[in-house]
Amino acid sequence: MYEPIATPARPSAPAPTPTPAAPAHTPASTPASAANEPTPASVPAPVQPPAPEPFPKSGPAAGTDERSTAVFPVVRDDETVGLRVTGATPTRSAAADQPPVPTGGRAERRKAAKGRGRKSAAPAEPVIPAIPRTRMEARLAARALKDSPAVIASRAIGEIFISLGVLMLLFVTYQLWWTNVRAHQEANGTAHSLQDNWAKGGDKNDPGAFEPGQGFAIIHIPKLDVVVPIAEGVSKTKVLDRGMVGHYSEGKLKTAMPSAKTGNFALAGHRNTHGEPFRYINKLKDGDKVVVETQDDYYTYEVTSHLAQTSPSNVSVIQPVPVGSGFTRPGRYITLTTCTPEFTSTYRMVVWGKMVDERPRSKGMPEALTAG
């Protein structure tokens, strides 16, 4: 049986020890054994305990009963007299999980509130969409995932525009780059074939016997670094698109050959794409030289005048005495024609020149080709 334990008393000043009085005269009738028994000590009156302090002293107060002043350790929630498993981890009480209540002013309360906000800011769990419970709900959910007709139409239009853009880019690349590559290859091959044939003696054909598209001469424009074969006719597919310069030689557009004593040797060539041999003839100035090389001779012409723009139907510019050239009587002339402005064929640009030298191949190249 447990005895009640007195509440630990606050230490106080020790009570004064009573002074024993002088023993009175013991009557003779008192037994000797009774006289030898110890007299019990007097117990002080209990003192009303004050409010307990947070940390009481562990030792007993002087002059007090050790059993009444013994201090026991603080008993936690899990350290009760009930049975428990040895070595079990003590459980935390609900009060221990509660945040401390701030006791200070407004600033301390705000600081404590911010601290609780940081601790409670945990990442939210991803929301998992609910699985449709019925077939109708499943159909509605599947229909909601499908693109609307407007989205499908806009996507199709975007793909069409992208495809058109790619096609246009390929077309521009073909026109501005690939056609020049192929035309240069064909023109260079024709020029080399002509020179090889001339070196072997060639065929002494009459100039009028050349077939349409057949190369018979080479034009040199030293200022523009142009060396291109000249073919009979101005066919776009047989002559011009193959990188060569064409000679006006058919029907009403028939003009003289360089070997003629009088006449106008008129030529046409692309300004852009397909080799573009006449792209920069607008940069020719009066006095610049143009040389025509044939199987037997070199014919050197000197630029005399220009016509920046005229109608494509103005054939008077290639007449024996070309209109607008400044020539007033028959002579040995040359006319170069091409399209203008660049990358269009709206108008024609014209450059005129007159022959200043005729040299047989046996005497070597003219000064216009060796001066540079």
How many Å apart are CA 55 and CA 132, to the nearest integer? 64
The label of the residue with tokens 């013994």 reads: 70
DSSP 113: H
Question: How many C-beta neighbours within 10 Å does residue 196 have?
Answer: 10
Whole-number Cα distances in Å, 143 to 42, 146, 153, 179: 99, 5, 17, 52
Q: Which residue blocks in the chain are alpha helix, DSSP H?
A: 32-36, 94-97, 106-120, 135-145, 149-173, 179-199, 367-370
Pair of tokens at residue 306: 């220009």
How many Å apart are CA 58 and CA 356, to the nearest integer? 135
How many Å apart are CA 94 and CA 97, to the nearest integer? 5
DSSP 216: E
Print burial letters for 159-189: b (CB count within 10 Å at least 16), e (below 16): eeeeeeeeeeeeeeeeeeeebbebbbebbee
Pair of tokens at residue 329: 């009587």
Encoded amino acid at 158, one letter? G
Tell me which residues are annotated as active site: 270, 339, 348
DSSP 306: E
Whole-number Cα distances in Å, 219 to 148, 247, 301: 65, 11, 11
Closest C-alpha among 287, 304, 283 to residue 353:
304
How many Å apart are CA 314 and CA 287, to the nearest integer? 25
Q: How many residues does the chain have?
A: 372
Tell me, rounded to whole angstroms, the distance of Cα 109 from its chain centroid. 51
Q: Are 271 and 345 a contacting pair, CB within 8 Å? A: no
Q: Are 226 and 293 a contacting pair, CB within 8 Å? A: no
